[in-house]
Chains A and B, each alone.
Chain A
Amino acid sequence: MTEERKKILEMLANGKITTEEAEKLLNTFESKIDETQKGDASSKTKIPKYLFVKVDSTNGDKVNIRVPLKIIRAGIKLKSLIPQEAQEKIDEKLGEKGVDFKLEDISEENIHELLEALAEFEVNVEDKKGENVKIYCGDS
């Protein structure tokens, strides 16, 4: 039992607060704890460093590729160099192809979210012959 909970129950026992008030206090206290726990969990989400592509074939061929995910962030920095006029043309052409997407909408926050989501990204393909393709994000 935490200190705060004890205090609330003591106040209730001493008659300083009613049962309804005690319930309200406990509820708000618990919701605050939940929020802080959620915050801690999201801040601990690890951003993977690399994208790995591994191919194992039955005839002995092996491919092992490691691409640093920092490249995505660097690409966003390079985006800022594209003149406004060219960005508008790109958006227009994408729109013509049915892609509802604007370059200016890409922000650091979006990239952070994307990189966080990539931590759980994994593609694993295995066929009957035993050939295996694995694509995933991680640190090693």
Chain B
Amino acid sequence: MIPMVVKIKIQAENKKGWRLWIPLPLLYFPALILVFLLSPILLVAVIVLTIVKGIRIVGVLPAIFIFISSLRGLNIDINSKDSKVYFSIQ
């Protein structure tokens, strides 16, 4: 499963803080649209990179997808007397 939400909470010394919930589909869909629109340029880049550098670009998208999926469950929670930081990918 690909991650759907990134939660960030930061609380500073003066107890003021902010919470941020980023619904990741908001990033995925524009990225997909961008890839679709730029596909002619990307196709040329793929061919050039494969021939010139030998980079196997065909495998890039699945690899990135797997990497993003693997990030689900990452959780960083740091608490001190004065401040708090929380970062989570769900």
Contacts of B54 in A (CB 8 A): 83-85
A61 and B80 contacting across the interface, CB-CB below 8 Å: yes
- For residue A45, CB closer than 8 A to chain B, the reply is no
- For residue B75, CB closer than 8 A to chain A, the reply is yes
A68 and B71 contacting across the interface, CB-CB below 8 Å: yes
B59 and A63 contacting across the interface, CB-CB below 8 Å: no
- For residue A111, CB closer than 8 A to chain B, the reply is no
A64 and B77 contacting across the interface, CB-CB below 8 Å: yes
Measured between alpha carbons, how far is A84 from B50 in the docked complex, in Å? 12
- For residue B30, CB closer than 8 A to chain A, the reply is no
Contacts of A71 in B (CB 8 A): 67, 70-71
B81 and A60 contacting across the interface, CB-CB below 8 Å: yes
- For residue A77, CB closer than 8 A to chain B, the reply is yes
B59 and A81 contacting across the interface, CB-CB below 8 Å: yes
A62 and B76 contacting across the interface, CB-CB below 8 Å: no
- For residue B53, CB closer than 8 A to chain A, the reply is yes
Measured between alpha carbons, how far is A67 from B74 in the docked complex, in Å? 5
A80 and B79 contacting across the interface, CB-CB below 8 Å: no
Q: Name B's A-contacting residues (CB within 8 A).
A: 53-56, 59-60, 62-63, 66-67, 69-81
